[in-house]
Amino acid sequence: MSYLIKPSEYKPLLDVRQTEKAIKQVKDFFELNLSSELGLRRVTAPLFVKRGTGINDDLNGIERPVAFPMKDLNEEVAEVVHSLAKWKRLMLAQLGIEAGYGLYTDMNAIRPDEDLGNLHSLYVDQWDWERVITDEQRTIDFLKYTVRKIYAAIKRTEMYVYELYPEILPSLPEEITFMHTEQMLAEHPEMTSKEREDFYSEKYGAIFVIGIGGRLANGEKHDGRAPDYDDWSTESGNGTKGLNGDIVVWNALLNRSYELSSMGIRVSPESLATQLEIEKCTERKELMFHSLLLNGKLPLSIGGGIGQSRLCMFFLKKAHIGEIQSSIWPERMISDCKAANIPLL
């Protein structure tokens, strides 16, 4: 179901022409800083992959990919990617990238099952990145170290926007705060997982929520995560599990938590086997990607996705992602946005 938040007396700080220019400035600056912080080289990415290879991202496991038959390939079916979480790991192996270095790419996807609103569109654009790590780096400390480097690039970009457009004031805290989903649950069991993210992101301004995908002490998941890319079953310290998480900030304009990035240390052969068992999908072991990983043919890695339109929307203080990207919206949402002074592209 579509849902629209309409900030009272909303007025964009930049007009449409200024916004189009600022989008390019933000993307170019952040991309340069991200690649510098993490030691990444840019590569070209596919828009679609073959069905049945196990390469496409399953997201929460229920979303339908856009698919089509290919005439010159005997009507084999291709799927438009949901993300490139697994494809990137194949590329690390193909390019022979060493530990400490990695790659990033512009990922464009279509997600027809999204609930459309201020933050969600049918069209998804993000920087997908992946970096080779050693076995010794598969720790919560290294995860936090990487998060801080990404947050440094985010903070630097926020200040860059302020220098270009002084009317857009910075709002992020100097440091990001780390919260584990079990800790959040223990402190506020009366809240839903979304309410806990709202509470802590408003309290601290920017948080990294650790441990997404596995079941918590109350038997529920904080949020869904596919079993075959992030590692959410390995113990990460203090009796808690999870070597993955989300970068979440407080969006004062929309008065809610706001996810900028989903990332994590990727599954090892051992944790992949464990998570496929937990989610009762061991048949995936026979797929090309999973077989390569289980047989030790792919490097250990850390990686994630950072929303391009989502990041621009936050930095430019926009109320709707449709002010950053051109997409398709329900007629009711278009008319409601117009009435609320939200100019969709």
User: Which of 1, 33, 4, 8 is CA-nearest to residue 315?
Assistant: 33
Cα(205)–Cα(75) distance, integer angstroms: 50
Active site residue 111: yes
Q: Does the annotation mark 57 as catalytic?
A: yes
Catalytic one of 37, 63, 223, 259: 259
Catalytic residue at 335? no
Catalytic-labelled residue, pool 35, 83, 121, 126 = 126
Which of 63, 244, 226, 80 shows the shortest CA–CA distance to 146?
244
229: tokens are 């890319």
CA dihedral 12→345→159→317, nearest 10 degrees, is: 40
Return the sign of the alpha-carbon dihedral for residues 320, 326, 329, 334.
Answer: positive
From 57, 158, 197, 231, the catalytic residue:
57
Express the helix, strand and coil content of the chain in percent, nearest 5 each. 35, 25, 40
Q: Which residue bears the tokens 């223990």? A: 186
Distance CA 151, CA 116 (A): 27
Residue of 294, 332, 295, 320 whose CA lies nearest to 120: 320
The active-site residue out of 262, 301, 308, 325 is: 262
The question of whether 325 is a catalytic residue gets the answer no
CA distance readout (Å), 160 to 58, 99, 170, 324: 35, 31, 10, 18
Q: How many residues are recorded in the chain? A: 345
Contact yes or no for 304/129 (Cβ under 8 A): yes
| 25 is an active site residue | no
Which residue has tokens 């080289």? 41
Helices (H), 53-190: 87-95, 140-164, 181-187
262 noted as active-site residue: yes
User: Mind telling me the catalytic residues?
Assistant: 57, 111, 126, 246, 259, 262
